[in-house]
Structure 1
């Protein structure tokens, strides 16, 4: 991918511990990458990446602290691509329950994230996935292994096809007999439960596949007015010092 056609990607800086590795992986895949929580920069980018590690509730709090939920909503309202990684996938569902506490998610997809039912938790290490026919994200790497580190997952898929809109493509994985969502391709919204930035050549290919799906937006496109959301006027807060150094006891 030449510098002239490189996709411009913002990695949302909400205090997650794995952001630097995500930035490096995207740059290696050919993107021009900026790590920021700036609303206008995030809205103007060709693609937005939302990483996440740790607990569901803490990640939601971090994302909301920088106004990330409004950035995600506004990008999706304008059909502008968003990629969630690990807990960045989980928070897209209605809710997550851990240690008996249920926390609201962003509600982009119905369903709840719950603890994996397996004899060994967390699910840590390399695993294969079951990619669906027609996948663009896993093109050429359908049989490869990817790196997972998590104790919770979306263990069912509840979203039905709406009208003539294409049905989301759901990729599955299994750990100790428990099947869970490993990735989703849903129009502009894509997410993976595994870490592509830690998945070697397979992860690099997956990120390159995602970058190829991004529309290259010129200055006029990037500056155009996007559809407003109900919470669009609310100010974004800065991340707290306690969340800015969160390390990776990942979900």
Structure 2
């Protein structure tokens, strides 16, 4: 079963329902030991970066997350959970993230409507199992005011255009992340969740 981390930032049940629709069992948990024992983990979330990191620390989730990643188990961050995977964010100041990947979380450039909300096309930059069956031009649902600026170009799997190209999907080895909400992105979003589930089966 896939563990969905509950650290008080919401959007949990919709992720669980999405997994159910594509045939994968999951459980929502705020127990660090349950996360450690999970075969795969999803870190969802909506809200503020600093509050989210503080909640992860307070609930004892930071160490189990790093253990999951180091053990080679599939791990995926969604929306805020994706941003938390990087080194730091400038949202409300300067706040350190999980540092799973190098890079910074930056505010969308001036002149753009914030938040970026609605459907947007992806441009697939490189092949990756998480993108199986997803082609350039596929649309996904975004809601965000900040974007990820990876410190390694090889991390970027797909980009989206919102007045500029930004990283919409990133990954390396067993770790994946998406700025959009697959659980709110109709059939193609469910395909992303199904592709993640396949990584669990392959372990």
Q: Same fold (TM over 0.5)?
A: yes
Q: Deviation at 1:44?
A: 2.0
TM-score (norm. length: structure 2) = 0.93
Of structures 1 and 2, the one scoring higher in RCO (CA 8 A, sep 6+) is 1
Matched, 1:11 2:4: yes
| Residue 180 (structure 1) aligns with | 166
Q: Distance in 2 between matches of 1:144 and 1:46?
A: 29
TM-score (norm. length: structure 1) = 0.76
DSSP-derived class of the 1:112 partner: strand
| Residue 150 (structure 1) aligns with | 144
Q: Distance in 2 between matches of 1:56 and 1:195?
A: 17
Q: Find the partner of 1:114 among 106, 111, 115.
A: 106
- Are the counterparts in 2 of residues 148 and 193 from structure 1 also a CA contact under 8 Å? yes
Indicate the RMSD between aligned Cα atoms, in angstroms: 1.6
- Are the counterparts in 1 of residues 126 and 158 from structure 2 also a CA contact under 8 Å? no
Q: Deviation at 1:138?
A: 1.7
DSSP-derived class of the 1:80 partner: coil
| Residue 138 (structure 1) aligns with | 131
Q: Which runs of 5+ in 2 are unaligned?
A: none
Largest Rg, 1 or 2: 1
DSSP-derived class of the 1:109 partner: coil
- Are the counterparts in 2 of residues 46 and 216 from structure 1 also a CA contact under 8 Å? no
Q: 1:134 to 1:37 in 2, by over 3 A?
A: same
Q: Distance in 1 between matches of 2:57 and 2:157?
A: 26
| Residue 205 (structure 1) aligns with | 191
- Are the counterparts in 1 of residues 39 and 200 from structure 2 also a CA contact under 8 Å? yes
Q: Deviation at 1:108?
A: 1.4
DSSP-derived class of the 2:35 partner: helix
After TM superposition, the structure 1 stretch with the greater mean CA deviation from structure 2, 12-21 or 145-154, is 12-21
Q: Distance in 2 between matches of 1:169 and 1:152?
A: 16
| Residue 82 (structure 2) aligns with | 89
Q: Distance in 2 between matches of 1:19 and 1:138?
A: 22
- Are the counterparts in 2 of residues 138 and 209 from structure 1 also a CA contact under 8 Å? yes
1:1-251 alignment runs, 5 A limit? 8-99=1-92, 101-117=93-109, 118-142=111-135, 143-154=137-148, 156-159=149-152, 167-175=154-162, 177-215=163-201
Q: Distance in 1 between matches of 2:89 and 2:155?
A: 21
Q: Distance in 2 between matches of 1:66 and 1:119?
A: 35
- How many pairs does the alignment contain? 201
Q: Distance in 2 between matches of 1:64 and 1:125?
A: 31
Q: Distance in 2 between matches of 1:140 and 1:29?
A: 14
DSSP-derived class of the 1:208 partner: helix
Of Structure 1 and Structure 2, the greater helix share is in 2
